[in-house]
Amino acid sequence: MSHAVLSLLKENRHPMRIDLIGVAGSGMSGLALLLLGLGHKVSGSDKATTLETDRLQKLGLQFFHGHTDKEVEDCDMVIYSSAIKPGNVAYEAAFKQGIPLVRRAEALAAVMANKKGVVVCGTHGKTTTSALTAHVLRQGGLKPSHYVGAEIPILGSNAHWDAEGELFVAEGDESDGTLVNFHPQHAIVLNIEPEHLDFYNGIEAIKAVFRQVLSQTPGLWVYCAEDPVASEVCSGSQGVSYGWSRDHDFSANIIEMKPDHTDFEVYQKGDLLGTATLGIPGRHNVSNALAAIALATRCGVAFEAIQRALKSFRGAKRRFEIRHAGERFAVVDDYGHHPSEIAATLATAKGLSTKRIVCLFQPHRFSRTQLLKKEFGASFGDVDELFVTDVYPASEKPLPGVSGETILEEVRAQNSRTKTGSTPTMLIARDKVGNALRPGDLLITLGAGNVHEVGRCIARDLPVLEKLCSTLEANGGGVARLYEPMNRHTTWLIGGPAQYWIEPYNETAFAEVVRYLRSASIPIRVIGRGSNLLVKDGGIRGAVIHPKGDFENVTVNGNEITAGAGARLKKIASSARNAGLGGFEWMEGIPGNLGGAIRMNAGAMGSETFDQIVSVRFIDTDGTIKEKPLADITHHYRSVPEFEERYIVSAVLRGSPAPQAEIDTKLAASHQKRRTTQPVGASAGCTFKNPEVCGAGKLIDDLGLKGRNVGKAIVSDVHGNFIVNQGGAKAREVLDLVAQLKDIAQEQRGVQLEMEVKVIGEDHPLPL
């Protein structure tokens, strides 16, 4: 029955009612465009709406959100994608009603039968080459129809039916043997390599499919002579060869390769046709362009038209697509997921980058990962830092022992043999890749799954990072990074990533960074050593500033000490001791910096920070630097409202001359008290403010709550007001434990505990 309905589609005698199951995919959406162009009444379904389904609906598609038996009612034909299997509700409804069920490739071949087809086939490079070929023929005035497996901006859409032109350029898929359905006029064979070995039983079976297609192709067989298997299969009088040698029918010599184009010479039978500029980079893309040049020339397109077409070509989506190109960073995304594609794409990246290449690779399908693991292992030689995700399964079920780690093992083995290459890492999250970037890096995301979303997110945040880097550089220096893990910067060793992490080295750089962030409406947090801080697991949206450099300085002048916001309290106490100044002994052992101590009026042993403050220097909300004396600063127990929105840069503190022995005795007493009464493990200091009735630690001890835990967060056995991270604790565990302690204190003693530790950040990770 399907043969009869396909005959109707080939002849295109009258409009039919056709439904496409899985219409949102790039291949199926292109087919829908063609069928609508031919005048058929088309419906389709998918799990989610996309920009493509929205566009198709405007052109006449009846769209069903989710698959349903209703969509196939009164249909003459139902076309299904490779992702749709028996058991699908629409598929089963069509089968029960006797409606012809047709695979996508069969339908495409039937549509092509209305024209003189040009099938572009091969293991990789099909999308770019078919797009190039269609564009060159269009610029040559031949008005071709086309069908390409990706969005092609220069073509306007991934498929188009032109009633006037004779030619139809289509990307042929060899993955499941349906390539044999095509009976084109001409064929372009790019390469033939072991691939889709879950379907084929080795290279001979793959060659047999290509030979059958060529036997059904009466016109030109344009093939890459650099590929030995393509040369073998395409040998014969119909063959038109292309490659790098002048001995081929068409050849090229690359003159110069730039990030956004490539200049090269074109030869026919050794004679120079002229020079051309291809609007995308890469040696492999010049090879793809030669295929289009060869076919177009043999079809009568003038070389001047070919030159214009190549220069204006901008490539397919996800084919070496530049997502960000700044002064310090670049992000490229590519669909490549076969070892040869990966090697070619990375070679192009290597030719464009003078510094490091950071690669994020997402393996596609378990079967490919297993069968080509050694080839994958040899594909990443041009990478300086490699991250690998787990396998994107597509429609496959997992295979035992096959994962992203399979690729990593092979890369490590290859690197150990050659003693070169990157140290590959299994990806945990997007943040790890973004945090690894350093000025000058080119990040490339590779894979046929959803890995491009990571690159898109990083590219979105890089313009701000670029501006931060340039601001710091112009004002005395500093460091800026993406997605800095906050568990590196809190004494609790807990916290998700900061979207932007900034370390200014001086006041001017700090102030200019604040001005920029304010103008860009980016939230700002300033932290020191993170000793009284809990950062939530989702991290911090916006910027976190961590003063370094000049901010760590401590100087003594008479009875006064001037210290930067980043100076450790322990360092201030030590400097005071060496200068014979008393009053700072309480700072010994407090794991914090001066900026944080001022902001919360930290204290211990009956003293607090503002007992010694003379004046505070800070950056105001407008980015100007100001200074205020103690008398003008309102401060309370563990609270200084003045500095909630202002950023401390330094302060002057006053001590009193005291005998060295007296200072040493007090320092030793402070150190001994902390060592014997406070836990050694990772904590944020006292969790709760002391209520009026008694100390918070004593209250928790009296309630018998020492040792209570949630996950890896536990109430210390040494001091009840300390919650300790036993290793790998999450902020959520700490907060749940805090909630339990507060509830019990309220219920059993009527005491309302208030957290002394500042809690900041997001509960959930920043969205991609």
- CA gap 522, 640 in Å, rounded: 23
What is the DSSP-derived secondary structure letter of residue 636? B
pLDDT at 260 over 80: no
362 — phi, psi (to 5°)? -115, 105
Could you give the C-alpha distances from 52 to 23, 24, 32, in angstroms and in order? 9, 7, 10
Both tokens of residue 608? 């607090």
pLDDT at 643 over 90: no
- CA gap 564, 648 in Å, rounded: 9
pLDDT of residue 425: 60
- CA 33 from centroid of its chain's CA atoms: 31
- CA gap 239, 188 in Å, rounded: 10
Give the residue-averaged pLDDT of 756-767: 87
What is the DSSP-derived secondary structure letter of residue 244? S
Q: What share of the chain is helix, strand, coil (3-state, %, to 5)?
A: 35, 25, 40
CA dihedral of 411, 412, 416, 417, whole degrees rounded to 10: -30
pLDDT at 504 over 70: yes
Is the model more confident about 265 or about 634?
265
The CA-based diameter of the chain, rounded to the nearest angstrom, is: 107
Q: Which fold has domain 553-672?
A: 3.30.465
Token pair 């190549």: residue: 310
How many CB atoms lie under 10 A from the CB of residue 474? 11
Element (H, E) at 693: none
The per-residue pLDDT of the chain, averaged, comes to: 88
pLDDT at 767 over 70: no
Token pair 């998918």: residue: 46
Where in the chain are the domains?
A: 2-104, 115-312, 321-458, 553-672, 679-760
- CA gap 62, 51 in Å, rounded: 15
| CB contact set of 652 (below 8 Å; sequence gap of 6+) | 560, 561, 562, 613, 614, 615
Whether CATH 3.90.78.10 fits 679-760: yes
What is the DSSP-derived secondary structure letter of residue 688? B
pLDDT, tens only, 361-384: 999 888 888 888 888 888 888 888
- CA 766 from centroid of its chain's CA atoms: 12
CATH fourth-level superfamily of 2-104: NAD(P)-binding Rossmann-like Domain (3.40.50.720)
Is the model more confident about 42 or about 14?
42
- CA gap 491, 655 in Å, rounded: 28
Give the residue-averaged pLDDT of 300-320: 88
| Strand pairing category for 560-564 and 647-654 | antiparallel
| CB contact set of 358 (below 8 Å; sequence gap of 6+) | 383, 384, 385, 386, 387, 433, 436, 437, 441, 442, 443, 444
Is the model more confident about 504 or about 663?
504
Token pair 């002057």: residue: 652
Active site residues: 126-127, 171
Bridge-partner residues for 79, per DSSP? 20, 102
3-state secondary structure of 295: helix
CA dihedral of 663, 664, 665, 668, whole degrees rounded to 10: 120
Quick one: what percent of the chain has pLDDT higher than 70? 95
Q: 643: closest CA among 613, 606, 685?
A: 613
- CA gap 220, 216 in Å, rounded: 11
pLDDT at 168 over 50: yes
pLDDT at 335 over 70: yes
pLDDT, tens only, 100-147: 998 888 888 888 888 899 999 998 888 889 999 999 999 999 999 999
170 — phi, psi (to 5°)? -140, 145
Q: Is-contact 259 322, C-beta < 8 A?
A: yes
- CA gap 749, 766 in Å, rounded: 40
| CB contact set of 448 (below 8 Å; sequence gap of 6+) | 335, 337, 362, 364, 392, 394
Give the residue-averaged pLDDT of 627-640: 86
Quick one: what percent of the chain has pLDDT higher than 90? 52
Is the model more confident about 554 or about 606?
554
Is the model more confident about 672 or about 735?
735
Q: Report the CATH number of the 115-312 domain.
A: 3.40.1190.10
Give the residue-averaged pLDDT of 437-450: 90
Give the residue-averaged pLDDT of 402-426: 75
643-653: burial string, b at 16+ Cβ within 10 Å, e else: beebbbbbbbb
pLDDT of residue 1: 45
Q: 348: closest CA among 287, 284, 282?
A: 282
pLDDT of residue 14: 75
pLDDT of residue 3: 62
pLDDT of residue 263: 94
- The predicted model scores a pTM of 0.73
pLDDT of residue 474: 95
Q: What is the DSSP string of 100-115?
A: PEEEHHHHHHHHHTTS
138 — phi, psi (to 5°)? -65, -45
- CA 264 from centroid of its chain's CA atoms: 33
99-117: burial string, b at 16+ Cβ within 10 Å, e else: bbbbbbbbbbbbbbbbbbb
pLDDT band at 187 (very low <50, low <70, confident <90, very high): very high
Whether CATH 3.90.1150.10 fits 321-458: no
- CA 191 from centroid of its chain's CA atoms: 30
